[in-house]
Amino acid sequence: MSLIKEKIEQARGILKEHEIDCWLTFVRETQITGDPSLQFLVNSDLTWHSALIVSASGRAVAIVGAYDKKSVEDTGAYDEVIGYVQGIRTDLLRALAALSPKSIAVNYSQESEVCDGLTHGMFLTLQATLAEIGLQDRLVSAEKIVSALRQRKTPWEVERIRRAVEAADDIFDAVGDFIRPGRTEKEIAAFVKIEMDAARLGPAWDPRVCPSVFTGPDTAEAHYGPTDRKVEPGHVVNMDFGVKVDGYCSDLQRSWYVRREGEASPPDDVKAGFDTIVRAIEAARRCVKPGAKGIEADQAARQVLADAGYQEFPHALGHQVGRFAHDGSALLAPSWEKYGKKPLEPIEESMIFTLEPRLTVPGKGIVTMEEMVVVTRTGADYLSRPQQNVRMI
């Protein structure tokens, strides 16, 4: 079964679970304003006004411009694909009138960016169109539908992410042999890109900051491109990096210590920092299980850092990974304003999360590792090969 068929079938079950009659994804010129949910519904861009309808009764209908009809038909996922010429209105109203839904879930959300693909202009267009048959007041948020569809990974999806994690881990192993004093962040990033090209892999996010490389103290620390800063003895070097396999991402971080002359082992402050991060990740992993809330895992990691005398990290402990490096709604995070209700969402089996605490070793740099785990029926298993020790350069 293709991914699109698999996810549409999954959507039918989710609609029944939440007692919503149908889910409508309404888009146009998707190369410019694409909806994040489209990756589960079609395999190409759509040009004119398009409606992709999945009903709890089991029927899936696509209404698209005539030239887009064949590519949607090729998915084999829809019971009916209607191609129009002059406008979508007549066919859309006919399809919805036949369903006579009490509720129509559409892709808007105040809480989750991955569920918020319907533009305001398209919402107004849809509302005005549905008013012609009295359905304009039946629109509801599809947040619960889209969130569940994204975060309940199928075995096919888990396998793609597993392969992306393994590929990134292999490149991390290679780059550890490349890092040397005198080499710049840009040179290290260029080496990584050569390794990606050799493996025929693409970056998991914007190539300007994938990989991100930081050496020593006083760096941007995250979400910043490599610079001409040179690796020096006594630096902690860390790298944030991931790749895509069949459209699915990995997102990992690794850290190294660059030894000074005469050092046979890392200094105590560096070793203590590494050991603390390893313990924080494991403490959090033990909290990740179906029914738990993300805030619990986040608190467990922060407590390990606090007990060791470190400041708390200024971001969520972990996020979901899927078609995007940052994916899904539920977060492993504190109850901060910017995270909304995401830390309180229940964790479900087959979700995939990162675990990425960090701390500062004064004068040397940022120590951070980012591991990935998949939620099982009873807990969470590592997808990545966890970094357990200080990697020495």
74-92: per-residue pLDDT in tens? 999 999 999 999 999 999 9
Q: In this predicted structure, what is the pLDDT of residue 273? A: 97
| Same fold for the pair 3-150 and 152-392 | no
Mean pLDDT value across residues 48-77: 96
pLDDT tens string 173-225: 999 999 999 999 999 999 999 999 999 999 999 999 999 999 999 999 898 99
Q: What is the mean pLDDT of the chain?
A: 96
Percent of the chain with pLDDT over 70: 100
Q: For 60-80, what is the mean pLDDT?
A: 97
Domain 3-150 falls in which CATH fold? Creatine Amidinohydrolase; Chain A, domain 1 (3.40.350)
pLDDT of residue 2: 86
- Give residue-wise pLDDT tens across range 125-136: 999 999 999 999
The residue-averaged pLDDT of 17-41 equals 96
- The model's pLDDT over 226-251, given as tens digits with 9 standing for 90+, comes to 999 999 999 999 999 999 999 999 99
Written as six digits, the tokens of 234 are 């006594």
**Where are the domains positioned within the chain?**
3-150, 152-392
CATH number of 152-392: 3.90.230.10
Give the tens place of pLDDT for each residue, 90-116. 999 999 999 999 999 999 999 999 999
Query: What's the mean pLDDT in 368-392?
Result: 96
How much is the pLDDT for 137?
A: 95
| 357-376 average pLDDT score | 97
Quick one: average pLDDT of 330-350? 96
Is 1 a residue whose pLDDT tops 90?
A: no
What tokens appear for 291 in the block? 């029914």
Confidence tier at 5 by pLDDT (50, 70, 90): very high
